[in-house]
Amino acid sequence: MNRGILLVNLGTPASTDVADVRAYLADFLTDPFVIDLPWPLRQLLVRGVILPLRPRRSAEAYRQIWNAAGPGTGSPLLHYSLRLLDALRARLPHTPCELAMRYGEPGLDRGIAALVQRGVRELTVIPLYPQHADSTRETTIRAVRERLPDDVRLVVHPPFFDDPAYLDVQAAVIQRHLPSRWDHLLFSYHGLPERHLTRADPTGGHCLRTPECCETPSPAHATCYRHQVRATSRALAVRLDLASDRWSESYQSRLGRLPWLSPYTDEVLRALPGRGVKHLVVACPAFVADNLETLEEIGMTGREHFLAAGGETFTLIPCLNDDPQWVDVLAGWQPAVQADQTEAARSDTAR
């Protein structure tokens, strides 16, 4: 059977023009897996409240990081994702590989069509998100299923938050970029509304029900973002030989007034200098490619918050991007031998 690989990342505007940013945000925010309100309320919120104001602010933020990888490179997320694709193709010259974005270009339709035209009849999709969340992995899997021809078998690579090879390369990148002097390592993850966890809980009664839910064994952990975040942080702390008081984790990028996973990164950055942390390192293990949230939200705005609160030095660890060891990890996942049964069961039940 002719196998192929589809790498999928979240997406990026086509440019920093307000119109392009508005189109991207409209596509992203109207996804029911991202804002899980009934359709009329979601449309009212996005088109009536968010889109009239947010695109201009977001466009300015994108302008701050556009071409961050070098002159003419454009979106860092797209640039590094394409470089990763090129490196993977070089490692797997006999396996058709494509890249798609869940939102924006290159789109899923284009990536799937290119693989099918090359005769692929077993497609391994690798959502480039280490931890499971419905707003990243599940929406990607559903969208691929909807577009895939009936005669093509779908294999979904599982979340890789606890994959030893991924953790080894993530720890190696952090170690490589640690400055000579630092006090504390903060793992900052993309935030989620708390109700996204309870909605994804297959037991209906585990997630967020007790303070120890993430440490209490449960089938819910297969789709629990917070449990998987904590597992990633602990595994990296072990690999980096960190004492418990030299690292912590937080969540960034909250939107709206609903309760989100906490502690919030912006508040932590302002508080750390008062706790004696003057030389801070921040890593973002929810992302495999640098993007607006790592480079602008943490590397620029977050840095300002920390230094203004009394911090002295701030180091942002780059994402894996196209690191050769990361390419080796991806290449080692092929050929996948079976679909992730948890993902398949959840998707088939929900269809």
Q: Sheet containing 97-103: which strands, arranged edge to edge? A: 97-103, 3-11, 122-127, 153-156
The pLDDT tens digits for 52-85 are 999 999 999 999 999 999 999 999 999 999 999 9
The pLDDT tens digits for 143-175 are 999 999 999 999 999 999 999 999 999 999 999
Q: How does residue 349 score in pLDDT terms, banded at 50, 70 and 90?
A: very low
Is a pLDDT exceeding 50 seen at residue 187?
yes
Is a pLDDT exceeding 50 seen at residue 271?
yes
Is 246:183 a contact under the CB 8 Å cutoff?
Answer: yes
Catalogue all structural domains in the chain, each as residue range(s) with its CATH number.
Answer: 3-161+323-350 (3.40.50.1400), 164-316 (3.40.50.1400)
Is a pLDDT exceeding 60 seen at residue 300?
yes
Is a pLDDT exceeding 80 seen at residue 336?
no
DSSP character string of 26-58: HHHHT-TTTS-S-HHHHHHHIIIIITTTHHHHH
Picking from 191, 223, 193, 185, the residue whose alpha carbon sits closest to that of residue 206 is 223
Picking from 166, 168, 74, the residue whose alpha carbon sits closest to that of residue 126 is 166
Q: What is the pLDDT of residue 340?
A: 40
Picking from 176, 277, 161, the residue whose alpha carbon sits closest to that of residue 221 is 161
- For residue 5, give the H/E element and its range: strand 3-11
Q: For a pLDDT cut of 70, what percent of the chain falls above it?
A: 95
Q: How does residue 1 score in pLDDT terms, banded at 50, 70 and 90?
A: low
Q: What is the pLDDT of residue 348?
A: 42
Report the range of poorest mean pLDDT among 37-41, 65-69, 141-145, 248-252: 37-41
Which tokens in the block code for residue 164?
A: 């030893």
Instruction: Measure the CA–CA gap between 232 and 248, rounded to whole angstroms.
Output: 12
Picking from 324, 316, 293, the residue whose alpha carbon sits closest to that of residue 77 is 293
Is a pLDDT exceeding 90 seen at residue 16?
yes
Q: What is the pLDDT of residue 265?
A: 98
Picking from 134, 111, 136, 159, the residue whose alpha carbon sits closest to that of residue 293 is 136
DSSP character string of 170-219: HHHHHHHH--SS-SEEEEEEE--BHHHHHHH-TTSS-TTSSTTTTTS--G
Q: How does residue 96 score in pLDDT terms, banded at 50, 70 and 90?
A: very high
> Which residue, chain included where needed, has tokens 């789709």?
223
Q: What is the pLDDT of residue 346?
A: 42
Once rounded to an integer, what is the mean pLDDT over residues 274-283? 98
Q: For a pLDDT cut of 90, what percent of the chain falls above it?
A: 92
Q: How does residue 255 score in pLDDT terms, banded at 50, 70 and 90?
A: confident
Phi, psi of 155 (to 5 degrees): -115, 125
Instruction: Measure the CA–CA gap between 58 and 17, rounded to whole angstroms.
Output: 10
Q: Quote the radius of gyration of the chain (alpha carbons, Å).
A: 20
Instruction: Measure the CA–CA gap between 189 and 136, rounded to whole angstroms.
Output: 13
Q: How does residue 335 score in pLDDT terms, banded at 50, 70 and 90?
A: low
The pLDDT tens digits for 194-245 are 999 999 999 999 999 999 999 999 999 999 999 999 999 999 999 999 999 9
DSSP character string of 86-125: HHHHHH-TTS-EEEEEEESSSBHHHHHHHHHHTT--EEEE
